[in-house]
Amino acid sequence: MDFPNYETLALEPRGAQLLLVRLNRPEVLNALNTRMGEELTDLWNRLTADAGAIRCVVVTGAGERAFCAGGDLKERDGMTAAAWRAQHEIFERAFMALAECPVPVIAAVNGHAFGGGLEMALCCDFVYAVPGARFALSEVSLGIMPGGMGTQNLPRAVGERRAKELILSARPFSAAEALEWGLVNRVCEPAKLLEEALATAQAIADNAPLSVRQAKKSIHHGLAMDLLTGYRYEIEAYNHLVGTEDRHEGVRAFNEKRKPDFKGG
């Protein structure tokens, strides 16, 4: 699949099925500026419209210090209220496009993830992090509040009371705490972070892609429903898979004691 030459993102295909995306503004700790917001929106929309052979994405930060430091406050310095809102609408589109992307996205948090950086990681399907990573939703200390799904995704990850404590105090927390609370799935040594994230991405890519997408969609939307409505949604997603060639291939491969060759059809 062909992508534009982004200014703020570095895209590295890893074989035909995996895509590594680096937030690429290391000189400012990969802070989220207007251009990055526009380019992230474009990237997630392209993957939603037609991912081609790509079956899983890993997102990380360039450099060793930060995943993403949040919104670029130097760019925002002196903005009018109208300009701020207009910029934030661009960011909103980026977060929503990521949250709705049908392709699984893993956050490999290689350093600090503050504000919008943490919100971006929370919009991914799950998170791996290095031991030295620090996290915070510190917006209330700046006179604003989380506006990238932070007040929605953090409670879903760590629970309402913990999220209130973290958001209202603006207190940073460690990778070990994030792991204990369920925000982070795995803590990896820095030299192994991408290796482990890409290995999990490959394990996902080895499975039937339509099945993976339907399961992701069922989890994502089902959490907003009561149990029985969510189950009905699950069955609708399930039934879409029964007539697929990949379902036939999976059963054949099991009975023939071989690895299935899923085509996504």
Burial of 22 (0-12, 13-18, 19+ CB in 10 A): buried
Amino acid at 39: E
136/119 Cα distance (integer angstroms): 9
pLDDT, tens digit (0-9, with 9 covering 90-100), for 82-140 = 999 999 999 999 999 999 999 999 999 999 999 999 999 999 999 999 999 999 999 99
184/154 Cα distance (integer angstroms): 11
Burial of 109 (0-12, 13-18, 19+ CB in 10 A): buried
So what's the pLDDT on residue 232? 98
Average pLDDT for residues 171-186, to the nearest whole number? 98
So what's the pLDDT on residue 2? 85
Average pLDDT for residues 159-165, to the nearest whole number? 98
Task: State the pairing for strand pair 18-23/9-14.
Answer: antiparallel
Which helix (H) or strand (E) covers residue 76, if one does?
A: helix 73-76
Q: Which residues contact 183 (CB under 8 A, 6 or more apart)?
A: 122, 127, 135, 154, 157, 158
Q: Is the pLDDT of residue 1 over 80?
A: no
* Contact (Cβ atoms closer than 8 angstroms) between residue 4 and residue 31: no
Long-range contacts of 185-191 (CB under 8 A, 24+ apart): 185/126, 185/127, 185/128, 186/128, 186/129, 187/128, 187/129, 187/130, 187/131, 188/128, 188/129, 188/130, 189/130, 189/131, 190/64, 190/110, 190/130, 190/131, 190/132
So what's the pLDDT on residue 238? 97
252/263 Cα distance (integer angstroms): 14
| Helical ranges in 100-226 per DSSP H | 116-123, 150-158, 160-169, 175-181, 193-205, 209-222
* Contact (Cβ atoms closer than 8 angstroms) between residue 36 and residue 70: no
Number of Cβ within a 10 Å radius of residue 101: 22
Q: Is 103 helix (H, G, I), strand (E, B) or coil?
A: coil
| Residue 119 bears catalytic tag | yes
pLDDT, tens digit (0-9, with 9 covering 90-100), for 195-221 = 999 999 999 999 999 999 999 999 999
Average pLDDT for residues 154-177, to the nearest whole number? 98
Domains detected in the chain: 9-205 (3.90.226.10), 209-255 (1.10.12)
pLDDT, tens digit (0-9, with 9 covering 90-100), for 135-160 = 999 999 999 999 999 999 999 999 99
pLDDT, tens digit (0-9, with 9 covering 90-100), for 15-25 = 999 999 999 99
Q: Is the pLDDT of residue 67 over 80?
A: yes
Whole-angstrom Cα Rg for the chain: 19
pTM of the model as a whole: 0.96
What's the chain's average pLDDT?
A: 97
The encoded tokens of residue 45 equal 């929309």
Q: Which of the following is catalytic: 27, 139, 189, 234?
A: 139
Q: Which of the following is catalytic: 12, 27, 38, 119?
A: 119
Residue bearing tokens 């590295």: 12
